[in-house]
Amino acid sequence: MKTYLVGGAIRDKLLNIPVRDNDWVVVGSTAKELISLGFNQVGKGFPVFLHPKTKQEYALARTEKKISSGHTGFEINAAPDVTLEEDLKRRDLTINAIAENTHGKLIDPYGGQKDIKNKKLRHVSEAFGEDPLRVLRVARFAARFAHLGFSIAEETQLLMEDISQSDQLETLSAERVWQELELALATTSPAIFVSTLRDCGALKTILPEVDALFDVPQPKESYSKIDTGLHTLLSLEQAAKISEDTVVRYATLIRDVGKGVTEKSKWSSHDRQELLGLSLQVNITNRMRVPKEHAELAALVCEHHTKLYSLERLKPSTVLSLLESLDAIRRPGRLDKFLLACEANARARSGFENKNYLQGKHLRSILSALSAMNIRELLLKNATNDPAKLIRSSRLTMIESEMSKYGATNV
């Protein structure tokens, strides 16, 4: 039995970036032997085990043969005679197909070190096409390593296009797609993930609502000469600069989906795009099983973000309704995330990339004033008044007072 460190740990060490996890491959052993040594098997019938002490993953060297559609449609051979080179050949990219033995020697039969040096994402073999999820994985790696200058090899790009043009992507489970999307949103350049999927034709299957935004013009009042799809990518770039939260980034990504189904006659204003967008977001949530927090913030941003454009001209009652819709007084953290997504949208507009986002500052100051109100004292001093009406009236007065402190902030 021989054990090798493989995959991401080797890749990241060669790139001089922090190693997240250590994964190991075991050659010349069996499930029975590993279990006898105290390893715990992960999943029934799957040759992956957890070390009894470190809890790191140890997988038996294996080959995989596609026998039916779907991510479970593989015949797995994890016999003791499977070689390390055979195991590495089934992996997605050459940069992930490097192993290290117990003496620190690298085993690199498919040129992963060369591709790391040349900043290339290249598939290991034609087996790449047997798992359509790899299209999303390559897009995610392109997003993760974009800041290092990595690009997709031409032959891999062509293979991704072939997979996207088939119906293979439709066989992916919702859980696998969401997992890749959330991981991509957490990278340094999530917009690259989206643009990569669009370039190979996968976006129209994975997120058709976002794909439909490209070539749809922005409304005239946006002062933007780019289409809505490109504006979405720029917004996502800005979101990545100001927040690491995937909840904020997801809301930014699907904020404008309603514009993709707006009638052409209404493109100048995108009338009713918020209502149209909310309906499409429900479809996305159901299809991809989006977590509740992500879905809720995305809906709030879709419905209310346009109010921030002219915050100083809103009626106090409208501002209060906005804060109530966000449940901001009780959940100020949600307001922060809402404002970050709105700020990303604002900064994506030409000329506003580096301007102060005063709307966020002003709405936070309003919330701070409302939160500082002593409701108990207010009710004690006005015991004869209707409590709900008294609180609302006092809040409106407070909002009006706060709004009088600032002028026009058209960002």
Residues 6+ away with beta carbon under 8 Å from 34: 26, 41, 49, 58, 60
Please indicate, yes or no, whether residues 28 and 107 belong to a single structural domain of this protein. yes
Give bridge partners of residue 3 from the DSSP assignment: 26
Q: Where residue 274 falls among pLDDT bands split at 50, 70, 90?
A: confident
Please indicate, yes or no, whether residues 84 and 11 belong to a single structural domain of this protein. yes
Whether 18 is in a domain gets the answer yes
The token pair that represents 344 in the structure block: 């990303």
Lowest pLDDT segment from 71-80, 242-251, 332-341, 385-394: 71-80
Q: Residue 17 belongs to a domain with what CATH number?
A: 3.30.460.10
Q: What is the DSSP string of 105-127?
A: -EE-TT-HHHHHHTTEE-BSSGG
Q: What is the 3-state secondary structure (H, E, C) of 30-82?
A: CHHHHHHCCCEECCCCCCEEECCCCCCEEEECCEEEECCCCCCCEEEECCCCC
The more confident residue out of 46 and 181 is 181
Please indicate, yes or no, whether residues 50 and 139 belong to a single structural domain of this protein. no
* Distance in angstroms (rounded) separating the CA atoms of residues 393 and 388: 9
Please indicate, yes or no, whether residues 4 and 63 belong to a single structural domain of this protein. yes
Domain-ending residue, one of 121, 150, 182: 121
User: Per-residue pLDDT tens for 206-243?
Assistant: 999 999 999 888 776 555 678 899 999 999 999 999 99
Residue 229: Cβ-neighbour burial (10 angstroms; 0-12, 13-18, 19+): buried
Domain-ending residue, one of 85, 102, 121: 121
Whether 370 is in a domain gets the answer no
Does residue 411 carry a pLDDT above 60? no
Whether 230 is in a domain gets the answer no
* Distance in angstroms (rounded) separating the CA atoms of residues 362 and 357: 9
Domain interval for residue 162: 132-206
Please indicate, yes or no, whether residues 4 and 112 belong to a single structural domain of this protein. yes
Whether 358 is in a domain gets the answer no
Does residue 409 carry a pLDDT above 60? no
Could you tell me the CA-to-CA distances from 197 to 100, 194, 203, 262, 274 in Å, in that order?
32, 5, 5, 23, 25
How many domains is the chain partitioned into structurally? 2
Q: Residue 140 belongs to a domain with what CATH number?
A: 1.10.110.30
Domain-ending residue, one of 206, 224, 259: 206
Whether 263 is in a domain gets the answer no
How much is the mean pLDDT over the chain? 92
Whether 200 is in a domain gets the answer yes
User: Per-residue pLDDT tens for 194-214?
Assistant: 999 999 999 999 999 999 999
Please indicate, yes or no, whether residues 2 and 101 belong to a single structural domain of this protein. yes
Amino acid identity at 215: D
Percent of the chain's residues with pLDDT above 90: 77
Please indicate, yes or no, whether residues 75 and 10 belong to a single structural domain of this protein. yes
Please indicate, yes or no, whether residues 14 and 109 belong to a single structural domain of this protein. yes
Whether 126 is in a domain gets the answer no
Q: Where residue 312 falls among pLDDT bands split at 50, 70, 90?
A: confident
Amino acid identity at 373: M
Most confident of 151-155, 306-310, 350-354, 389-393: 151-155
b/e code 197-212 from CB counts within 10 Å (16+ = b): bbbbbbbbbbbebbbb
The confidence score (pLDDT) of residue 74 equals: 74
Whether 408 is in a domain gets the answer no
Please indicate, yes or no, whether residues 1 and 117 belong to a single structural domain of this protein. yes
Query: Is 284:254 a contact under the CB 8 Å cutoff?
Result: yes
User: Per-residue pLDDT tens for 51-99?
Assistant: 999 999 999 999 988 776 665 667 899 999 999 999 999 999 999 999 9
Please indicate, yes or no, whether residues 180 and 201 belong to a single structural domain of this protein. yes
pTM of the model as a whole: 0.90
Please indicate, yes or no, whether residues 2 and 110 belong to a single structural domain of this protein. yes
Query: Is 8:100 a contact under the CB 8 Å cutoff?
Result: no
Please indicate, yes or no, whether residues 117 and 137 belong to a single structural domain of this protein. no
